Amino acid sequence: MAFPVTRLRRLRRTTELRNLVSETRLTPDAFIYPMFVCPGEGVRKEVKSMPGVFNLSVDQAVKEAQEVHRLGVPSAILFGLPDKKDEVATGAWHENGIVQQAARAIKSEVPKLILMGDVCLCEYMSHGHCGIVKAAPQSLGAAVAAPPAATTEYEIVNDASLELLARTSVSLAKAGIDIIAPSDMMDGRVGAIRKALDEAGLINTPILSYAAKFASGFYGPFREAADSAPQFGDRRSYQMDGANIREAMREIEADIEEGADMIMVKPAMPYLDVIAAARERFELPLAAYQVSGEYAMIEAAARNGWIERERVMMESLLSIRRAGASIILTYYAKDAARLLA
């Protein structure tokens, strides 16, 4: 019916009415809190480009995990900063790697917190790429940590990298990581990880695949936090082209066929259409990562007085949820949980 009989503003008059008819709801149990774990003791070093986010030693990570759990946030995802890097990402898969240490310590103190382990090699590789690097065949044709200065041709070797990713996944699961989350974007990684976990007797360990991870300019602050910037080139040969939504559906479908239990789109707000398309097409639990650049922009604008921080924070999270993500990885998990409480 038309105005004046139909008045859509009737249900917007008060906060209570608006809440009653809200179509999309945020709750703390939809959040996953990212944490960056580093060597040392008593370390709580703020990331300059991400105010309120810290590099944490294991003892401080335990305290952070306790706070996350108290706030009703059910899960944290761990990223590691090793004490040294090499060409085979030893720190990622070693039984005493920094994330493995943190996982054991957190599980000892906060056993009900769901721990996710980001499985990528960039933080642990001397060259900062997500896989093994070789000079391209038309160049030197030999494995190298980084191409010589005069050589611009190189290749991120897919299949050889799968072994390291699978080894890392098994190591993390044995250390207490509940969910394996590969973010490397190597072809076939989910299948390789699933096979390795099953062969290790870890058949109940689920995989949350960064299924559609785009080569994005929004990752800059994360690379400071995780010390993971590539030392040469970029990641466009393995992360997705932001122009391609149909290819994103193929990536997701491939990961599901290989055994992914959950899927993720990253970044979130610049790719809300991809989240919506994935929700429409696939039935698996769907996550989205509100990445470091999204967080940093909100923080910078708020500190300049250009926006209302809490309002924009919650609006951004609501938009991701409305697009179809039932799980949101966000640096705002703690702050949003406090507001929702």
CATH number, domain at 223?
A: 3.20.20.70
Measured CA to CA in angstroms, residue 60 lies from 39, 44, 99 at distances of 11, 7, 13
Q: Which residues form the domain of 270?
A: 25-128+158-340
Burial, 301: exposed, middle or buried (Cβ in 10 Å; 0-12, 13-18, 19+)?
Answer: middle
Is residue 213 annotated as a catalytic residue, yes or no?
yes
Q: Report yes or no on 1 lying in a domain.
A: no
Q: Report yes or no on 136 lying in a domain.
A: no
Q: What is the pLDDT of residue 149?
A: 43
User: Amino acid identity, residue 182?
Assistant: P
Q: Report yes or no on 326 lying in a domain.
A: yes
Is residue 266 annotated as a catalytic residue, yes or no?
yes
Q: What is the pLDDT of residue 138?
A: 54
Q: Report yes or no on 137 lying in a domain.
A: no
Contact 286, 327 (CB under 8 A): yes
Q: How far apart are CA 287 and CA 284, in angstroms?
A: 10
Q: Report yes or no on 5 lying in a domain.
A: no
Q: Report yes or no on 259 lying in a domain.
A: yes
Q: Report yes or no on 140 lying in a domain.
A: no
Among residues 207, 192, 278, 294, which one has the least CA distance to residue 240?
A: 278
Q: What is the pLDDT along the chain (341 residues), one digit of tens a residue?
A: 799 999 999 999 999 999 999 999 999 999 999 999 999 999 999 999 999 999 999 999 999 999 999 999 999 999 999 999 999 999 999 999 999 999 999 999 999 999 999 999 999 999 889 899 987 665 444 444 444 443 458 889 999 999 999 999 999 999 999 999 999 999 999 999 999 999 999 999 999 999 999 999 999 998 888 888 888 888 888 999 999 999 999 999 999 999 999 999 999 999 999 999 999 999 999 999 999 999 999 999 999 999 999 999 999 999 999 999 999 999 999 999 999 99
Contact 256, 328 (CB under 8 A): no
Q: What is the pLDDT of residue 79?
A: 97
Q: Report yes or no on 153 lying in a domain.
A: no
Q: How far apart are CA 307 and CA 290, in angstroms?
A: 18
Number of domains composing the chain:
1
Q: How far apart are CA 26 and CA 321, in angstroms?
A: 7
